[in-house]
Amino acid sequence: MQSHSRRGFLGSLAAGLLLERFAAPLLARANFSSPVMRGRRFLEGLYDPALDLLPEYRGAKVYWLFHDNYLAAKVLAASNRELAGKITAATHRLGVDHSGKIEIVFSEAKDPLPFRQYSLIDVKRIGEKLIKTEVVTQTLLRGWEQYADLLFLAAMAESDRAKARRHFDDGLKLWDGTGFKDRAASKRYATYKLALCLIAARKLEVKPDAQPAIIERLLAMQADDGGWITDYDPERKPVGKANVETTCLAILGVEATVRK
C-alpha cells in the first residue's frame, strides 16, 4: 500500500480479559488502551495548522490526502472530533473526496472490486510542502492475489461471505510466524499488513489461531513516540520510520481485537 474509523472502544475490562486470554510475555505487560492513546497522541502531534493536515511522518514535506489524512480523520474522530473535522474539511477544500481502495476498511468504497491499478498524483504544492493523493484508475490490477494486504481488503469488500472467507484464508496462508511473506516481502515485512489482518478478522467475525502472535508482533512495532514503525526485518528488528498510515491502521487493528 502506497505512502490507508476507526475508533475508541477500548474498555479496561475488555483489555484485561483479552490479556488474560493472550498471555504472551509482551501482551501480559500491555494495557491495550495505552498503545491506542499513545498512537492518537502521536497523530495529534504531527498536525500542521498551516495546512490542517498531517505530513507523512515527522519532518516530512509530503502530505498524503489518501490514505494518510483520510485515515487520520477517521481514527481521531473518537478522541479529537474538532481536529478530525479540520482534516476532513481541508481534504475537501482541495477537491479530493475519495480514493477507491482504503475506504474499504470503513465500507465506504464505491465499486471496490475488481481491484484496479492505482496512481499517485500531485494535488498542490505550497512552498516546500507537496500535497499528494492516491487514486484508482480504470485499469484492472493483475496478480493482486499475491499480496496479503489486498487479500485482506478483498475479504472486507467482498459481499459473498464464502468468497470473502476464501480471500481471508488465502491471506492468512502467507503468515510465516514473523509476518506476511507475500510477493512484496523480500527482505522486510510490512507492519500495516498485520493490522489489516486483524481488521478483516473482526469484520468476518473469525479468530485465526495466529491472531495472538499477530497482535504481539503489531504491538512490538510501536515506537517510543507512540507511532508505529512501517517495516521490520526477519529478525524482527524495526526498519523505517513511524508514519501516519501505519499508525492509523495499527490503532484500528488493536481496537478490532477488543471491540465488542
Q: Residue 33's pLDDT is what?
A: 77
pLDDT of residue 23: 37
In a domain, 235, yes or no: yes
pLDDT-wise least confident of 20-29, 103-112, 173-182: 20-29
Enumerate long-range contacts of 155-159, CB under 8 Å, 24 or more apart.
Answer: 155/200, 155/203, 155/204, 156/104, 156/105, 156/107, 156/199, 156/200, 156/203, 156/204, 157/104, 157/109, 157/112, 157/113, 158/113
Instruction: Kindly state whether residue 1 falls inside one of the protein's structural domains.
Output: no
Taking only the tens place, the pLDDT of each residue in 211-227 is 999 999 999 999 999 99
Q: Which range among 33-37, 47-51, 59-63 shows the weakest confidence by mean pLDDT?
A: 33-37
The span from the CA of 202 to the CA of 256, in Å, is 6
Q: Is 6 a domain residue?
A: no
Residue 3 within any structural domain of the chain = no
Domain span including residue 187: 12-258
In a domain, 5, yes or no: no
User: Is residue 220 included in any domain, yes or no?
Assistant: yes
105-115 pLDDT per residue, tens: 999 999 999 99
Question: How many structural domains are present in the chain?
Answer: 1
Q: Evaluate whether residue 138 is within a structural domain.
A: yes
